[in-house]
Each structure stands twice: as structure tokens, then as C-alpha cells.
Amino acid sequence: MLRTEAAKEMLATGAARQALEEVRKVLPAPGQAPQLGAPPAAETLAFMALCAYRIGVQENCVSHPTTETCLLPVRGKGVHGRQSGAREAIGYLTTLLESKPDDLRARWLLMVASMAVGEYPGKVPRRYRIPESAFASEYDIKPFDNAALRAESESSVTRAGRSPKTSMAMAFSIS
């Protein structure tokens, strides 16, 4: 169906909000049959959840990055301040899982979205919860550091203290 293909392309180019609006147009009204060629309801709900979660990522991780942004497990400063996208995703995923409780893709995204709002594992229904042991490792893996964010921060301090020409000259100086 053309609308769903357009919505997929919108999501792929970062237009998550527009993709979500486009895919909502293929949903049947209560009591009506689905449109001819429309994807199955579970597939549509999964896509809507992905769009909604992506909106949350754009509003939080992209617009307000921290050193703990978008790392699994989501915790600390990585928890979304603007939670509407992740909460909307949780709603779609919960509805999907009511009809397909063994959908591991939906369970995984439900877990990630719940982490994003600081509600994993406690508020995730036990029947859908992926256990915390999924994050266990035989190795002592230290938390990742968002070095790019730190470098950008240091770079802005450098630019604030010196003229761009001086900063560039120092960056390329040969001793």
C-alpha cells in the first residue's frame, strides 16, 4: 500500500512524526474492515510504536544529548525528560502484545521504551518482561562513554576562549 511505503520512507529520513500521521490514515475506524492492501494490524501497531519511540529519541537523545543518552540499559541521565513518545510507543506495544504475546520484537521495544521512561522492570507486565539477566555478561564490561559529546563540549569551550582562526592554527600546528 502506497501510504505505508511512504510512511516507511518518512521514518527512514528522520520524519517520524509525519510517518506516524501517514500510517494512522490506513487504520480502519472502529467497526470497519481494513483497507484493501493494508498491512496486518500487528504490523501497523509495531510500526506506529517504532515511529512514536523515534519521536521520543529525537526529542531527547538528539535534541538534549547526555553522556548516558541512548545506551542500553537506559538509566540515569539517559531516561527521557520528554516522555510522550516512549509512552505512546508503550501503548501501541501493549495493545500489540495482547494479541501476540510471543512477539519478541514487540517485547524488546516495550522493554527499551519502558527503560526510557524509568519504568523497567517494575512496571512492565511480567508476561512481557525480558529479564534483567539479558544484560548479564561473563565479562566486566565498563559503561561506554559518549566521547563525541565530550569532544563537542570541549570544542565549544575552545571556540569560546579563542578566535576560530587561533583555534584552527593551534589544531594544525607542527612543533
Contacting residues for 4 by C-beta, under 8 A, at least 6 apart: 22, 23, 26, 38, 39, 44, 47
Task: Give the domains, in start order, of the chain with CATH numbers.
Answer: 2-132 (1.25.40), 145-175 (no CATH)
**Residue-wise DSSP of 79-127:** S-SS-HHHHHHHHHHHHHHHH-TT-HHHHHHHHHHHHHTT-TTTTS-TT
Q: How far apart are CA 9 and CA 42, in angstroms?
A: 19
Task: Give the pLDDT of residue 170.
Answer: 33
Summarised one tens digit per residue, pLDDT across range 47-85 is: 999 999 999 999 998 888 887 888 888 889 999 999 999
Band (pLDDT 50/70/90 cuts) for residue 175 is: very low
- Most confident stretch, 11-15, 22-26, 40-44, 163-167: 11-15
- In this structure, of 32-46, 66-80, 91-105, the range with the lowest mean pLDDT score is 32-46
| In the chain, % of residues over pLDDT 70 | 78
DSSP three-state, residue 56: helix
Amino acid at 168: M
Neighbours of 76 (CB within 10 A): 13
Task: Give the pLDDT of residue 69.
Answer: 83
Band (pLDDT 50/70/90 cuts) for residue 166 is: very low
Task: Give the pLDDT of residue 174.
Answer: 33
What's phi and psi for 37, nearest 5 deg? 85, 0
Task: Give the pLDDT of residue 9.
Answer: 93
Chain-wide mean pLDDT for the chain?
82
Res. 165: pLDDT tops 50? no
